[in-house]
C-alpha cells in the first residue's frame, strides 16, 4: 500500500460523512492533506484557500454558523495551528462543529529543533471537544483501520450535542509529495461509522411534575439565550407562552422573531427603582440557549434570586449564570415547550377558558398604557398599587419601545454613531443574515432592536466575545449562502484587526460591511471604569487614523464614506441595493461626541423609568 493512501482516504471519509466545506491554508507539511482534498471529485472546484490561518478558521466558523454543518480546516505544522485557536475557542462556546486537521512532524522529531515543529498534541486544550492522533505509520492493516476509526470518531464527536471543534493531528513523514506521474486514488470501502442523534422527549411522570410546579409558581419568566433560528422551537415557545400567559425575554441574538418576545430590557432595567424591579422578579425562571448580551438583565436575574431556575439543555455542561440553578431538564427546548404547552392548553380549555394567542394577550396588557409614566398615573400616589398594576414586563417593554422612538426622533442631534446605527438597522434588507461585531455594535443592536416584520437572522461571536474574527465570520457566511444578503455592522478596531478576512480569491457580492469609524476603541468612553481614568486617551482608546479606502481598493470592494445624517440617508439605499456588489459603508463620527450623546441617552432612559 502507498504510504500516503491512508492520508488520501481522509478526504474520502469526510466526503462520505457529508462534509462539503473545506478551508485550506497553504503549507508544505500539509501537502498530502491538501492534495487529498484537491484531487477528490467531491471537492474539485469547491475548496477554498485562505492564506491567513486565523482568518481561515473564522471563515470556517462563519460557514458552520450559516449551515449548522461541520467544516474542515487544513493547515501545516508549527504555529499555523496555533493561529486557529481563537476561532476554535469561539466554536467551542458557540457549539459549532469544526474538524481541525493539523499536519505535524512525526513524533520522533518533536523537541529536536526541527523547523516548524511545536508540541501539537492537544493543541487547543480544554477548548476542543477532543483530540485525536492519526497514526504516523499506516503500512500495517491494523494501523490503517485505527486511523479510519479515529477519523470517524472525530467527525461524529464534532457533531454530537453539544457540537464543537475537534482536532485530528496528522504526523507526516517525507516524502509527502507524490512522484511525477504517480497515481493517487481513493478507496471506496473505507470504514464509515455514523452516529444517530437522539430525539428524546420528557417521560409522562416528569411532565406531570413540571406541570404541577408551573401551576404553583405565581410569577414565571422565560429567558432565551443566543441560539440559531429554529422555527420548530419558535412555534412551540409561542404556544407555551400563550397557554401560560408567560412573558418571554430575549436578546437580539436569540432569533425568536416569530415570538412576541420582550426585547427592551436593556432600556428599562437600568432605570427602574428597586421597588419596581421587585414587581418583575420571577419565582420560577426558565432558561434555554447560550449567552446573554444584556448586562442589566444578568444583574437583575442574579439579584432576583428566583426560588426555582430550570435550564433546558439535552446534554453537556450547564452554566449557573444567575447563581440560582435548581433543575436541569435534559431535552431539546422545542420538545419541552411543545409537551408542556399541550398539557397546559388542554387543561385550560377543559376549565372553560379561552386560549388567545400570545400576541393578542400581550396587546391587551399594553393597550391604554403607552408608557410606564401613564401607567403610573392610573394608580395615583398609592405606591403598592403602582407596583402591582403598572410594572409588568409587557408594559415596561412597550414603554421602552416608545421611549426609543421619541429619543431618536428628537431634532438637533449632532451626528453620532448611536443614531447612525439606529438608522442603519431600520434600512436592513428583508431576510438579511445580520452579523454584529463585538464591542459596541452588538450592544447598540441589543438596545435598539430589529425592524419589525422582517425575517432577519442575527449572528455574533458571543462565545468568547472577541473582536478578532468578526470580519472573517461574516465572509464565511457570505460564501456559505451567496443567495442571501449578509450584513456586518462593526467598529473600526474590530474591522482593521481582521482585515485579512478579505485576503482570498472568492467573490462575495452579497456582503455589505457598515464600518462605524470613530478612530479608536470608543467603547472605553462609554463604559464606567475606563472612561473615568486619566489614561483613557493613550492606553484604552486605541487611537488610530486608518480609513477603509485603501483596503477597499486592494480587495476591490465598493467604498462609500459618509459623515452626516444627510449623507447616510442618501447612501443607505444605494449601499443595500442587491445589484451593487460587495461594499463597505464607512460612517465617520467623533468619539467624544458619541460618548456625550450616549450619556444623554442613559440619563434620559433613567429619568423616564425612575
**Would the pTM count as exceeding 0.85?**
yes
Burial of 550 (0-12, 13-18, 19+ CB in 10 A): exposed
Which among 444, 600, 414, 601 is positioned nearest to 514, based on CA atoms? 444
pLDDT higher at 387 or 337: 337
Q: Is 522 a residue whose pLDDT tops 70?
A: no
β-sheet with 165-171: strand ranges across:
48-49, 21-24, 71-75, 98-104, 165-171, 130-133
- Mean pLDDT check: name the lowest of 1-10, 78-87, 158-167, 244-253: 1-10
Question: CA of 556: how far to CAs of 50, 59, 139, 497, 574, in Å?
Answer: 17, 19, 48, 19, 17
Instruction: Quote the Cα angle for 59-155-171, to 5°.
Output: 85
**Three-state secondary-structure class, residue 134:** coil
- Grid coordinates in use for 462? 458571543
Secondary structure (H, E, C), 243-278 = HHCCCEEECHHHCCCCCCCECCHHHHCCCCCHHHHH
The pLDDT of 152-167, averaged and rounded, is: 97
pLDDT-based confidence at residue 280 (cuts at 50, 70, 90):
very high
* Cα separation, 131 vs 141, whole angstroms: 23
Domains of the chain (ranges, CATH numbers): 5-171 (3.40.50.970), 204-361 (3.40.50.1220), 410-609 (3.40.50.970)
Backbone angles phi, psi at 259, to 5 degrees: -105, 140
Q: Tell whether the model's pLDDT for residue 350 goes beyond 60.
A: no
- What mean pLDDT comes out for the span 127-133? 97
% of the chain beyond a pLDDT of 70: 89
pLDDT of residue 352: 45
Binning pLDDT at 50, 70 and 90, where does residue 466 land?
very high
pLDDT band at 525 (very low <50, low <70, confident <90, very high): low
State the sign of the Cα–Cα–Cα–Cα dihedral 437, 438, 444, 447: positive
575-592 pLDDT tens trace: 999 888 999 999 999 999
Gap between the Cα atoms of 246 and 397, Å rounded: 14
Give per-residue pLDDT as tens, 19-52. Answer: 999 999 999 999 999 999 999 999 988 999 999 9
| Of the candidates 255, 249, 256, the residue with the CA atom closest to the CA atom of residue 304 | 249
Report d(CA 314, CA 200) in Å as an integer. Answer: 8
Q: Which H or E element spans position 24?
A: strand 21-24
DSSP state of 226: S
pLDDT digits (tens, 9 = 90+) for 309-349: 999 999 999 999 999 999 999 999 999 999 999 866 555 44
Q: Which residues pair with 548 in a beta bridge?
A: none
For 392-451, the pLDDT digits (tens) are 999 999 999 999 999 999 999 999 999 999 999 999 999 999 999 998 999 999 999 998
Q: Has residue 385 got a pLDDT over 50?
A: no
Q: For residue 492, what is its C-alpha cell? A: 473600526
pLDDT value, residue 610: 83
pLDDT attached to residue 535:
66
Phi first, then psi, for residue 434 (nearest 5°) are -95, 120
Grid cell 379561552 is found at 354
Distance CA 419, CA 407 (A): 10
Q: How far apart are CA 322 and CA 308, in angstroms?
A: 11
Higher pLDDT, 137 or 501: 501
Closest CA to 448 of 601, 563, 552, 224: 601
Query: How far apart are the C-alpha atoms of 403 and 600, rounded to whole Å?
Result: 13
CB 129 within 8 A of CB 158: yes
Give how far Cα 225 sits from Cα of 119, 165, 311, 313, 556, Å: 37, 21, 11, 12, 37
Q: What pLDDT sits at residue 199?
A: 67
Q: Report the distance separating Cα 429 and Cα 485, nearest Å.
A: 7
Q: Tens digits of per-residue pLDDT, 535-578?
A: 666 656 677 899 999 999 999 999 999 999 999 999 999 999 98
- pLDDT at residue number 1: 57
3-state secondary structure 47-63: CEECCCHHHHHHHHHHH
| 399: DSSP letter | H
Report the mean per-residue pLDDT for the chain.
89
Backbone CA torsion sign across 292, 294, 299, 303: negative
**Residue whose grid cell is 436593556:** 266
The residue among 394, 458, 396, 428 whose CA lies nearest residue 576 is 428
Please check the confidence at residue 370 and state whether its pLDDT lies above 60: no
Look at 449 and 358; give whichever has higher pLDDT.
449
Q: Give the SS3 label for residue 418.
A: helix
For residue 242, give the C-alpha cell: 400563550
95/583 Cα distance (integer angstroms): 30
Q: Which residue has the cell 436578546?
A: 251
Q: Is the pLDDT of residue 185 over 80?
A: yes
Cβ atoms of residues 339 and 201 within 8 Å: yes
Nearest to 466 by CA among 130, 92, 166: 92
What local confidence, expressed as pLDDT, does residue 376 receive? Answer: 45
At CA 571, angle to CA 567 and CA 572, rounded to 5? 120
d(CA 116, CA 79): 7
Q: Which residues contact 186 (CB under 8 A, 6 or more apart)?
A: 8, 9, 11, 12, 40
**Per-residue pLDDT, 356:** 35
The residues, ordered by sequence, that sit 6+ positions from 73 with a Cβ below 8 Å of its Cβ are 22, 23, 25, 56, 57, 60, 84, 98, 99, 100, 101
Residue 254 neighbours by CB under 8 Å, 6+ apart = 224, 225, 226, 227, 261, 289
Q: List phi, psi (to 5°) of 223.
A: -125, 125
- Would you state the pLDDT for residue 363? 33
> Where does residue 414 fall: left (phi above 0), alpha (psi -120 to 50 degrees), or beta otherwise?
beta
**pLDDT at residue 109, as a whole number:** 83
- Does 196 score more than 90 pLDDT? no
**Per-residue pLDDT at 388 exceeds 60:** no
Amino acid at each position: 500500500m502507498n504510504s500516503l493512501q491512508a492520508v488520501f482516504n481522509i478526504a474520502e471519509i469526510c466526503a462520505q460523512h457529508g462534509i462539503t466545506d473545506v478551508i485550506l491554508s497553504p503549507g508544505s507539511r500539509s501537502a498530502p492533506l491538501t492534495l487529498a482534498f484537491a484531487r477528490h471529485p467531491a471537492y474539485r472546484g469547491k475548496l477554498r484557500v485562505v492564506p491567513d490561518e486565523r482568518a481561515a478558521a473564522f471563515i470556517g466558523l462563519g460557514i458552520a454558523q450559516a449551515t449548522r454543518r461541520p467544516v474542515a480546516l487544513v493547515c501545516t505544522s508549527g504555529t499555523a495551528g496555533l493561529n486557529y485557536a481563537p476561532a476554535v475557542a469561539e466554536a467551542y462556546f458557540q457549539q459549532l462543529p469544526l474538524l481541525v486537521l493539523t499536519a505535524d512532524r512525526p513524533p520522533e522529531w518533536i523537541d529536536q529543533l526541527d523547523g516548524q515543529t511545536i508540541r501539537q498534541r492537544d493543541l487547543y486544550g480544554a477548548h476542543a471537544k477532543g483530540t485525536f492522533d492519526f497514526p504516523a505509520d499506516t503500512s500495517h492493516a491494523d494501523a490503517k483501520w485505527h486511523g479510519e476509526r479515529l477519523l470517524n470518531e472525530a467527525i461524529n464527536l464534532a457533531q454530537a450535542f453539544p457540537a464543537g471543534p475537534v482536532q485530528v493531528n496528522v504526523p507526516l513523514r517525507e516524502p509527502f509529495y507524490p512522484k511525477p506521474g504517480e497515481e493517487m486514488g481513493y478507496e471506496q470501502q473505507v470504514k464509515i461509522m455514523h452516529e444517530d442523534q437522539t430525539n428524546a422527549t420528557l417521560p409522562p411522570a416528569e411532565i406531570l411534575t413540571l406541570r404541577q410546579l408551573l401551576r404553583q409558581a405565581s410569577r414565571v419568566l422565560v429567558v432565551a439565550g443566543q441560539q440559531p433560528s429554529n422555527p420548530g422551537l419558535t412555534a412551540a415557545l409561542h404556544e407555551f407562552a400563550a397557554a401560560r400567559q408567560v412573558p418571554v425575554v430575549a436578546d437580539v441574538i436569540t432569533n425568536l422573531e416569530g415570538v412576541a418576545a420582550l426585547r427592551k430590557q436593556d432600556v428599562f432595567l437600568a432605570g427602574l427603582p428597586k421597588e419596581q424591579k421587585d414587581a418583575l422578579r420571577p419565582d420560577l425562571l426558565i432558561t434555554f440557549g447560550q449567552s446573554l448580551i444584556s448586562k442589566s438583565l444578568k444583574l437583575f436575574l442574579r439579584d432576583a434570586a428566583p426560588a426555582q431556575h430550570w435550564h433546558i439543555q439535552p446534554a453537556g455542561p450547564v452554566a449557573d449564570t444567575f447563581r440560582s440553578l435548581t433543575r436541569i431538564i435534559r431535552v431539546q427546548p422545542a420538545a419541552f415547550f411543545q409537551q408542556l404547552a399541550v398539557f397546559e392548553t388542554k387543561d385550560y380549555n377543559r376549565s372553560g377558558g379561552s386560549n388567545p394567542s400570545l400576541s393578542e394577550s400581550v396587546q391587551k396588557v399594553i393597550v391604554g398604557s403607552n408608557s410606564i409614566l401613564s401607567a403610573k398615573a392610573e394608580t395615583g400616589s398609592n405606591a403598592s398599587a403602582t407596583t402591582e398594576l403598572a410594572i409588568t414586563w409587557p408594559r415596561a417593554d412597550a414603554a421602552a419601545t416608545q421611549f426609543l422612538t421619541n429619543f431618536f426622533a428628537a431634532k438637533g442631534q449632532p451626528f453620532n454613531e448611536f443614531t447612525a446605527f439606529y438608522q442603519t438597522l431600520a434600512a436592513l434588507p428583508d431576510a438579511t443574515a445580520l452579523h454584529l461585531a463585538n464591542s459596541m455594535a452588538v450592544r447598540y443592536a441589543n438596545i435598539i432592536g430589529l425592524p419589525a416584520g422582517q425575517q432577519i437572522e442575527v449572528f455574533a461571536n458571543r462565545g468568547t466575545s472577541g473582536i478578532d474574527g468578526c470580519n472573517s465570520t461574516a465572509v464565511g457566511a457570505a460564501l456559505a449562502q451567496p443567495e442571501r444578503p449578509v450584513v456586518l455592522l462593526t467598529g473600526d478596531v474590530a474591522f482593521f484587526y481582521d482585515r485579512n478576512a478579505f485576503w482570498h480569491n472568492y467573490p462575495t457580492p452579497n456582503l455589505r460591511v457598515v464600518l462605524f469609524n470613530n478612530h479608536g476603541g470608543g467603547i472605553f468612553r462609554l463604559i464606567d471604569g475606563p472612561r473615568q481614568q486619566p489614561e483613557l486617551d493613550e492606553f484604552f482608546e486605541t487611537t488610530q487614523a486608518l480609513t477603509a479606502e485603501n483596503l477597499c481598493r486592494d480587495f476591490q470592494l465598493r467604498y462609500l464614506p459618509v459623515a452626516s445624517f444627510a449623507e447616510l440617508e442618501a447612501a443607505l439605499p444605494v449601499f443595500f441595493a442587491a445589484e451593487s456588489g460587495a461594499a463597505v459603508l464607512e460612517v465617520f463620527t467623533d468619539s467624544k461626541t458619541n460618548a456625550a450623546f450616549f450619556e444623554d441617552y442613559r440619563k434620559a432612559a433613567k429619568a423616564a423609568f425612575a
